[in-house]
Structure 1
Amino acid sequence: MEALHIRSMLGLLKIAGVLLSVGGTMIISLYKGKILHLWNPILHRHNEEDSKVLKVYPYKYWSSMATCLVGGFQTALAGVILRRDKNAWKIGWDINLVTIVYSGALATAGKYSLNSWAVAKKGPSYPPMFSPLSVVFTVVLGSIFIGDDITIGSLIGTILVIVGTYVFLWAKANELPEK
């Protein structure tokens, strides 16, 4: 829980930082503007004739499930190598079982389902919009690696997200600890 002291300068700066970050993500998503050609991409976009994931896995959730299964097997293998105590691997009807079911059903499967639904409805930039810095990384790395366009809107939005994040963090760091 974050304490908001609206009558203090630091509280107002924290609110301003949040508004700048959210506003920046909205500008990235909603305003395009002129395309800036800052660098050449490392990888190039594939043509429509090239093979794609949906041609190999025609059911869109199967590729996500296969990714989760492979990641699960890799994690289990690392766990068995690093944790050899048999008692650590016992699962009973307790909070450990609830944690496993929750993280598998909601945190992984639910997230993939909601993200793919949001991408289908609003486009690929919509899901990361709720985590401002991931939008900045998406814009920059997408431009560097696959040649996504950097536009005036994405540049302005990126600057606002970074400024907003640091304004919030500066105000938070300068707050006096509560006693």
Structure 2
Amino acid sequence: MLVVLYKGPTIISTSSMPSQSLQWPLQSTQSRWVIGGILLLIENLLISVWYIIQTQIMKLYPAEFVVTLLYGLFATIISAPICFMGESNLCAWRLKPDVELASIVYSAFFGLTFSAIVHTFGLRMKGPVYTAIFKPLSIAIAAIMSFIFLGEALHLGSVIGGVIICVGFYAVLWGKANDEGGKNEDSCKIPLLQSPSN
């Protein structure tokens, strides 16, 4: 939440690079910042719930490819009406064989299909905690990538929030590894009082 709600002073500015950000009419930058933060919070909460549900699905039906196919199909069905409401001009939906088409194919393969299969496999192998903990890390990665590739300024809130996210990420991984290590040690211990064998 610190990354989203606290912008802070600019640490590194890229004033020489042109910023190409999408502009919504009649809305200030601050209102878009807060709306984006709220939507990001809702997405992270819903993804965490989805990972818990998907872990239960994988216990009953351990077929990653089928689960991923159904996930992609239903995500398309749900998001298609929203996309057409957002862009009602049908001419904007035409695909041309250029960089846009290549980016759509790339994001469809790596952004949805490949990452969903990896997440589903991780859910089946380790459970929802390991998979869900990587989601907030993407916020810090997005802040760094937007600075490097899009030329956006790097603010103090993004840096502090990124550090908190990384520390929290490694703290959860460390705690989970110690928890699993303790369970393995307990299962190997021989009880002090054994029933005498006859």
Q: Is the shorter-chain TM-score for this pair beyond 0.5, marking a shared fold?
A: no
Normalised by the size of structure 1, how large is the TM-score? 0.41
Normalised by the size of structure 2, how large is the TM-score? 0.37
Larger RCO, structures 1/2 (Cα 8 Å, 6+ apart): 1
